[in-house]
């Protein structure tokens, strides 16, 4: 029976077959490639924007910043998305006197800071004077000895003055206020065969400034008037030939008078501190007090019928018309020297004793 038994075959363990996915990059698939491509694209766009910003000039940066500060100001009737299509006309509501004052003062600060700090206007420092006056925002381009806007006797603007006017235009064109432009000259008289004087020259220079402002950004309808002052309104009155008297003045006129709204009116564009206000009021009170005292003194003099000189003369001892004797003269001299006290019954010394004293000799 043992011979009939067949040997048992060894059972081999089965191996598990792992089916690998093909075409998707193995275990993780291909999704990481999409995420990596998105990341690289975003980084490329970021560095491209940074490079473009670094290549932009200062003027473009200022225009972009100005747009985001007041985007509504750029909805003018000039141009649009489609050629020939006008946007909605800019008709802002009228501001109160306070809001208008704050707007003018803010633009004045921006302009002055721009011309004082930007490198491209380094040669024009102290050439542009910006201030808020009763009439409105006044911007003056003043000539310097080494930096002029016009050649002598000419109304042609140079490149430096053109850049200044273009920069001014980009700021004031945001406002709906009317604009007044004035031209000024010094007292220098140049020969002319056709009777061309400083009156025509100052007007032509103001008109040349108007053309640059309109070509840059300003709406022509905002121009209120153009005035030529010749040499009648100098800055340096003691020197009628000073270069600073040759200037162009651009005034953004107020839409609201300062005193139209008493609750909102601001007399001083620079808001003073409480301490400054108190000090100014105290100085004013002191001046008024001195004026009142002077008036009272004058009235008291008029009431007595005597002048101040006459009142002062009354305090002096009056000279008697009667001729004094030698004894009275000696008595007065002793009283003056202090030897005899006035009002006391001191005895006057005799004449011989007076002669012995050297001080009594005539």
Write the pLDDT tens digit of every residue in 285-317: 565 555 556 555 655 554 555 544 444 444 445
Give dist(CA 202, CA 265) in Å, integer: 34
Give dist(CA 354, CA 347) in Å, integer: 13
DSSP string covering 265-282, please?
--S-SS---HHHHHHHHH
From 94, 70, 59, 85, select the one nearest 164 (Cα to Cα). 59
Write the pLDDT tens digit of every residue in 109-148: 888 888 888 777 777 777 888 888 888 899 999 888 777 8
Task: Report residue 268's pLDDT band, with 50, 70 and 90 as the boundaries.
Answer: very low
356 vs 189: which has the higher pLDDT: 189
Residue 198, pLDDT > 80, answer yes
**Three-state DSSP class for 29?**
coil
Give dist(CA 183, CA 138) in Å, integer: 13
Residue 11 tokens read as 């059972």
How do 223-228 and 179-184 pair as beta strands?
A: parallel
From 133, 140, 169, 342, select the one nearest 248 (Cα to Cα). 140
pTM for this entry: 0.47
């Amino acid at each position: 029976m043992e011979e009939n038994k067949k040997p048992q075959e060894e059972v081999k363990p089965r191996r598990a077959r792992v089916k690998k996915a093909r075409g998707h990059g193995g275990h993780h698939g291909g999704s990481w490639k999409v995420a990596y491509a998105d990341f690289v694209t975003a980084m490329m766009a970021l560095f491209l924007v940074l490079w473009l910003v670094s290549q932009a000039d200062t003027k473009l940066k200022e225009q972009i910043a100005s747009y985001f500060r007041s985007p509504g100001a750029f909805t003018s009737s000039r141009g649009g998305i489609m050629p020939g299509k006008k946007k909605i006309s800019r008709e802002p509501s009228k501001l109160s006197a306070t809001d208008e004052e704050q707007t003018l003062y803010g633009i004045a600060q921006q302009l002055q800071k721009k011309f004082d700090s930007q490198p491209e206007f380094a040669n024009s420092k102290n050439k542009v004077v910006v201030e808020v006056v009763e009439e409105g925002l006044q911007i003056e381009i003043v000539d310097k000895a080494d930096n002029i806007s016009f050649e002598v006797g000419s109304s042609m603007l140079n490149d430096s003055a053109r850049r200044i006017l273009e920069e001014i235009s980009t700021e004031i064109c945001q406002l709906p206020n009317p604009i007044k432009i004035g031209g000024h000259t010094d007292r220098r008289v140049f020969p002319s065969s056709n009777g061309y004087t400083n009156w025509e020259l100052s007007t032509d220079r103001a008109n040349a400034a108007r053309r640059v402002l309109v070509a840059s950004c300003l709406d022509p309808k905002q121009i209120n008037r153009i005035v030529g002052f010749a040499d009648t309104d100098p800055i340096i009155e003691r020197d009628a030939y000073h270069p600073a008297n040759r200037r162009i003045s651009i005034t953004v006129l107020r839409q609201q008078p300062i005193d139209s709204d008493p609750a909102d009116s601001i007399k001083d564009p620079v808001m003073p501190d409480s301490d400054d206000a108190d000090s100014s009021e105290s100085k004013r009170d002191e001046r008024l007090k001195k004026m009142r005292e002077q008036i009272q003194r004058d009235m008291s003099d008029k009431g007595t019928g005597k002048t101040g000189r006459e009142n002062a003369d009354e305090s002096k001892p009056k000279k008697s018309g009667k001729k004094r004797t030698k004894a009275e003269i000696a008595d007065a001299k002793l009283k003056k020297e202090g030897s005899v006290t006035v009002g006391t019954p001191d005895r006057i010394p005799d004449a011989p004793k007076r002669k012995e004293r050297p001080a009594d000799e005539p």
